Amino acid sequence: MDKEENKKIEDSKEQSEDEKLEKNPAEAETPAEVAEDKEKKQDETNQKQFSKKSVAYKVALFLLITVIAFSIIFSFTDLNEVWDAITKVQGTNMWIAAGCIIVYMLIWPLSLVLIARVKKIKATPFDTYLIGGTEHFFNGVTPFSTGGQPFQVYAYTKVGVKAADSTGMILMNFIAYMIATNAFAIASLFFYGDFSVNFNSSTKWIIILGFVMNFLTLAFMICMATCKWVRDVFTAALKGLCKVKWIGKHLTKAIPMFEQYCDNAQLAAKEVFSHKWLFMSAVLIKLVDLVFYYAIPFFILRALGVHVEWSQIYLFILASSFAITTMVWVPTPGGTGGIEMAFTMIFSALAVGVNASVVSGAMLLWRALTYYFLMLLSFLEYLWYKARVRRRNSKEKKEASEAK
């Protein structure tokens, strides 16, 4: 009876809407107006999501998780010995490690700048460069590192770029990054025996889960950007889930946004893939950039007095990729807790005979550079972007008032 009554109510609603449109055809929205309305609603949602209060909450949560994670990690080691190892750090190699993260930060947005050239957008290349650089900060304070891309879409709208254009560009940039990370991950598997020494039969599932998730994420993103049937299958699955009342209450509104996201991604993919050399250049930028990022533990261990030869640098680059890929599934901001454990287990296997406190000290310095310092640099780019937008808006208002 309830189903029949609900159906009648829905039918009567649809009928009344149809009658309303028949009586007032002028009130019927055009596809362009519908798309514009969706963008306005999405912009309102984004403003709430990236307000000062929301960002402050994310930072506070990230700090709390960091404190808890490090408290657990250091309960298994002697803090005095770790601190003693850190205070003996050698300057030259440590400066090289710091230089690597700065170069990584500077190169990172260039792939997005390159991809943005395909689209005729209002944003300048420098706007895109700054927006690309903010990704690390917003990824760093959100679970599964998912905050960077939504913020970039929102940031683009503030410089006059439609979400329909920016969504596809950002997705293609992410695919370029995923291709690069998976290339390193596959190469690291050739040294699986060396990197997995400290993983036993009860913990090796962690490695499998991390690599499977990384490969599947890339496959899913490529399919979503190129295959219409993937969108249709997922949309049908989401609609099926929405039949469950409590799921439908929260998920129904998201389905049109998901469909629009897929449409935007596929349009951008067509444009970008039609410029094959440009996309391959974006992937190459990511590959080169990741070399600097993955090489950092090599220089940190040398800075702590660990004897590692220059001929071994490739091994440490691949070990970094292996550690990060292993813990990609950890839901905490920046993989906090999991990534530290993986680093300690993998690099203690490479640095044979080195005191555990030295490896823990290396992990702390590595995390300080690749996460906290990187987030600080990214946050500064975010502030630069905000100041630039504010200055531009005030200039436009002044020009508009003068024109009146």
Domain assignment present for residue 400? The answer is no
DSSP structural state of residue 372: I
Q: Are 237 and 245 in contact (CB under 8 A)?
A: no
What one-character-per-residue DSSP string does 49-60 give? HTSHHHHHHHHH
Q: Are 152 and 166 in contact (CB under 8 A)?
A: yes
Domain assignment present for residue 170? The answer is yes
Total domains in the fold of the chain: 1
For residue range 211-257, what is the model confidence (pLDDT) as tens digits? 999 899 888 888 878 888 877 888 888 888 888 777 777 777 777 87
Domain assignment present for residue 7? The answer is no
Q: Are 293 and 101 in contact (CB under 8 A)?
A: yes
For residue range 189-207, what is the model confidence (pLDDT) as tens digits? 999 988 888 888 878 888 8
- List of residues 6+ apart from 278 with CB closer than 8 A: 114, 115, 117, 118, 272
Is residue 105 over pLDDT 80?
yes
For residue range 22-36, what is the model confidence (pLDDT) as tens digits? 445 445 455 555 555
The dihedral built from the CA positions of residue 147, 339, 189 and 180, taken in this order, carries a sign that is: positive
Is residue 127 over pLDDT 90?
yes
Higher-confidence residue: 9 or 44?
Answer: 44
- Map tokens 């680059």 to a residue: 317
Higher-confidence residue: 146 or 309?
Answer: 309
Q: Of 222, 119, 124, give the one whose Cα is nearest residue 172.
A: 222
At CA 344, angle to CA 338 and CA 346, rounded to 5?
100
Domain assignment present for residue 15? The answer is no
Domain assignment present for residue 201? The answer is yes
Domain assignment present for residue 22? The answer is no
Domain assignment present for residue 324? The answer is yes
For residue range 51-98, what is the model confidence (pLDDT) as tens digits? 666 666 666 766 676 666 666 655 556 666 666 777 778 889 999 999
What one-character-per-residue DSSP string does 179-233 give? HHHHHHHHHHGGGHHHHTTT--TTTHHHHHHHHHHHHHHHHHHHHHHH-HHHHHH
Domain containing 62: what range?
Answer: 38-74+96-393
Average pLDDT, the chain: 79
Reported pTM: 0.78
pLDDT confidence of residue 271: 77
Domain assignment present for residue 33? The answer is no
Is residue 285 over pLDDT 90?
yes
